[in-house]
Chain A
Amino acid sequence: MDLSRFNLITIATPLVLGAGVLLVMLVDLLSGRANRRPAQLAALAVVLAAAAVCLATWNTGGVSFFGQVSGDGFASFFNLIFLAVAFLVILAGPAYLERNAIHFGEYYSLVLVSVMGMAFMAAGTNLLVIFLGLETMSLALYVLAGFNPARQSSNEASLKYLLLGSFATGFLVFGIALVYGQIGSTDLARFSAYLAGAGDPFAGYMGAGVALLLIGLTFKMAVVPFHFWSPDVYDGAPTVVSAFMSAAPKAAAFAAALRIFYAPAESLGLPWERILWILAALTMTVGNLSALNQASIKRMLAYSSVAHAGYLLLGILAGNELGAAGILFYLASYVFMNVGAFTVAWMVNRRGEGRYDLGDFAQLGFRRPLLAAMMSVFMLGLIGIPPLAGFFGKLYVFTAAVQAGYVWLVVIAVLNSAVSVFYYLRVMVIMYMRENEALKDVDRIPATFAAVAACALMVILLGLIPGSVLDVARAAVASMP
């Protein structure tokens, strides 16, 4: 048997994560009932090891395992994003989990399993692998959303996400089955070859298949009209989990969408463009308008992440190299802003888990100037103010869309960004201008503070060297088979 067909380098990063899951469970088992610290340290070590492996095997994999996975630069780039998010939520998490008396070792193993699923979504060159990766990711997220069984809203979030998520998965699998029925394969290379050669790309079951694939993936991205779950789930889930959920799975869903649709985008033609155009415009507008008058910071950030999915769709719609590389850059900066903002939100929450009021931020600028400054970095980054990473993400994606001829859609996107200024700046206004409401002081939690500082640093750093990061992203996109 030809063993070169089983090139383990291509799946080295998820393999380390898989072994890490078992290791973390074992460490947690051995370290006594009350002590979760060893499990956390083990999980951090696993993430660092996986990141080291990811960097060492950067773009060396190529397609292997009979065309099922590709360990190219694209997979490596996304793996690094997922691992960064995992590292941050594992570092920041314990304080939150302790506060709510839900500090269990399963938190760490579930986060790692979820990231492993994402790694397969980014590396899969076969619809089956992408589907199984998505399911592995989602299953862990369903449990993490319900990680606080004492709170009704956490249970509700978990159940809602499970029911709607399984439904969306059903659509995805049905789509895969129909595509298989049409071309007799689930291989993505065959998929794009078929579409390139077909006169009518939507003949037979291809139309229904592609539509269902799109529904399955856009559900995970929280694209309107499949976004109804996201505010309730982000709001009800434990906030550390919301931070994780709003960042990494969205990146993974876009990775899978690029894997499937980037190569054949051109041959999909007009109906495809129209559908994506409408979805992008709807998502941006509904997300931003709904975020405008949210009293809860968690719901506001949830709707803001819906809006960002809309901006990101522009990159998919553009279908050119800059669009795809722009999405990679955008996601690399977006995850840090979102994880940071959600983490600050639970740090300053002083009214208990049930209420995440914007009023919690009152006077933060004077009581905790550094924390407030970092929150301002996240808010300004989410708006897309020039020196920060968020600006360049938007710039690349919007430029790509203009190059592809979608001027009106970019006009809508820019107008939407202007609307979003209102609710992001409101947080800053409250931090620096609202009167003190005699609230409890914010706890000082060194590890969590370090995680937030790392996020802020990345948002600033990516804004300082956007060109070289974009070059890496371009190379990553070009390395896709």
Chain B
Amino acid sequence: MDLLHLLNQGLFWFFVVMTVVSAIVVVFSQRVIYSAFALLFTFFGVAALYLFLAADFLAASQVLIYVGGILTLIIFGVFLTAKIYTMDIPQQTHQRYLALLPVVAMLGLLTYGLFTADWKTVTPAAEPTTKDLGQLLLTTYLVPFEVASVLLLAALIGAVRLARPMQEEDRD
């Protein structure tokens, strides 16, 4: 029991450190490609933290959408960019001091929340969350679910418009 608990704690902190360190690399790395790879670890770490919260579906979709999506993006990026390792893609931070103001304000608000929030704890159910989520999506959250599909339709129409050539060639 104690050993299991220790292992659990160890794994948790491992993922916490992995997430935070890779997030720092994302922000401070000078090369885009390093940032992108580090982002992969950040997303994976967040997915692991979701598992610790017993949110299995969320973790799975995090891996599928973010980890999968980002990986594909990087591969395509490498495909399409010649000399990506040697190319100097500028990634500087501008207005460092001005940005400090909202960042500190945000950090202050969140830290204040951390200490004053009324933390709710639930005992995680032993069964997977997918059944409950599915039922909620087709009852309580039916309207948001459908609006999200319209959102995707809008994205599709927009993407088609932007990707098509300016002058439509005649095909007869």
Contacts and interface: CB of A to CB of B under 8 A. Distances in A.
A113 B143 contact: no
Contact of A208 (B113, B118, B142): B113
A116 B149 CA distance: 12
A149 B162 contact: yes
A474 to B, nearest CB: 28
Contacts of B141: 66, 68, 128
B144 A132 contact: yes
B143 A129 contact: yes
B147 A136 contact: yes
Nearest to A107: B161
A136 B154 contact: yes
B120 to A, nearest CB: 7
Given A113-B154, A116-B150, A205 B113 contact: yes
Given A143-B158, A149-B162, A204-B118, A129 B153 contact: no
A208 B162 contact: no
Which of A114, A207, A211 has the most chain B CB atoms inside 10 A of its CB?
Answer: A207
A73 interface: no
B117 A149 contact: no
B168 A208 contact: no
Which of B153, B161, B166 has the most chain A CB atoms inside 10 A of its CB?
Answer: B161
A357 interface: no
- A contact residues, range: 35 or more
Interface in A354-393: none
Nearest to B171: A33
A113 B166 CA distance: 22
Contacts of A104: 161
A269 interface: no
A116 B147 CA distance: 9
A117 B147 CA distance: 8
A207 B113 contact: yes
A411 B143 CA distance: 44
Contact of A110 (B116, B157, B167): B157
A120 B161 contact: no
Interface string B134-146: 0000011111100
Interface in A276-297: none
Given A65-B143, A68-B144, A129-B144, A33 B158 contact: no
Contacts of A140: 154, 157-158
A365 B39 CA distance: 60
- B contact residues, range: 20 to 34
Interface stretch (B1-9, B56-64, B66-74, B104-112): B104-112
Interface in A131-153: 132-133, 135-136, 139-140, 142-143, 146-147, 149-150
Contacts of A101: 166-167
B170 interface: yes
Interface string A45-82: 00000000000000000000110110000000000000
Nearest to A182: B117
Given A25-B157, A113-B150, A113-B157, A143 B113 contact: no
Interface in B80-108: 106
A207 B144 CA distance: 26
A142 B116 CA distance: 39
A136 B150 contact: yes
Interface string A80-122: 0000000000000000000001101010011001101100100
Nearest to B154: A113
Nearest to A150: B166
A408 interface: no
Contact of B117 (A69, A129, A205): A205
B106 A208 contact: yes
B158 A110 contact: yes
Contacts of A18: 150
Contacts of B75: none
Nearest to B118: A204
A149 B162 CA distance: 8
Contact of A6 (B142, B160, B170): B142
Contacts of B125: none
Nearest to B161: A106
A211 B108 CA distance: 12
B20 interface: no
B147 A129 contact: yes
B160 A106 contact: yes
Contacts of B161: 104, 106, 110, 143, 147
B155 interface: yes
A18 B147 CA distance: 10
A11 B106 CA distance: 37
Contacts of B117: 181-182, 203-205
A211 B113 CA distance: 12
B140 A66 contact: yes
Contact of A33 (B142, B151, B153, B170): B170
A29 B124 CA distance: 51
B148 interface: yes
Given A65-B142, A132-B148, A140-B154, 19 more contacts: A18-B150, A21-B153, A65-B143, A66-B141, A101-B166, A117-B147, A129-B143, A133-B147, A135-B151, A139-B154, A139-B158, A143-B162, A149-B166, A182-B118, A184-B120, A203-B116, A208-B106, A208-B110, A208-B113
Q: 4 shortest A-B CB distances, which residue pairs?
A: A143-B158, A204-B117, A205-B113, A208-B109
21 contacts: A18-B150, A21-B153, A66-B140, A106-B161, A110-B161, A113-B153, A113-B157, A116-B150, A120-B143, A129-B143, A140-B154, A140-B158, A143-B157, A143-B158, A147-B161, A149-B162, A203-B117, A203-B118, A204-B116, A204-B117, A208-B113
